[in-house]
Amino acid sequence: MTDREAPYAGLSPDLILDAVADAGFEPDGRMLALGSYENRVYQIGIEDGPPLVAKFYRPGRWSDAAIDEEHDFALELADAELPVVAPLLVDGASLLDYDGFRFSLYPRQGGRSPELESRDNLEWMGRLLARIHGIGSRGSFAERGRIDVRTFVREPSRAVLESDLLPSSLARRYREITESLADQLDARLEAIGPVRQIRLHGDCHRGNVLWTDAGPHFVDLDDARMGPAVQDLWMLAPSAAALDILLEGYAEFRDFDAGELALIEPLRIMRQVHWAGWVAMRWHDPAFPLAFAHVGEARWWEEHCNDLSEAVAQPGN
What gap in Å lies between CA 128 and CA 85, rounded to an integer? 14
What gap in Å lies between CA 21 and CA 294, rounded to an integer? 39
Between the alpha carbon of residue 177 and those of residues 130, 183, 309, the distances in Å are 36, 10, 6
Which of the following is catalytic: 220, 222, 232, 285? Answer: 220
Question: Is 203 marked active-site?
Answer: yes
Fill in the DSSP letter of residue 179.
H
32 forms beta bridges with 43
Strand, coil or helix: 210: strand
User: What's CA 210's distance to the chain center, in Å?
Assistant: 15
Strand, coil or helix: 34: strand
Find, among 123, 121, 102, the residue nearest to 111 by Cα: 121
Give the pairing of strands 215-218 and 209-212: antiparallel
What count of other Cβ atoms lies within 10 Å of the Cβ of residue 73? 23
What gap in Å lies between CA 58 and CA 72, rounded to an integer? 19
Question: Is-contact 205 235, C-beta < 8 A?
Answer: yes
Fill in the DSSP letter of residue 263.
G
Which of the following is catalytic: 28, 72, 148, 203? Answer: 203
Find, among 60, 134, 45, 143, the residue nearest to 100 by Cα: 60
Fill in the DSSP letter of residue 154.
I
Write phi, then psi, for 140 (nearest 5 degrees). Answer: -135, 155
Question: Is 72 marked active-site?
Answer: no
What gap in Å lies between CA 167 and CA 254, rounded to an integer? 47
List, by residue number, the catalytic residues: 203, 220
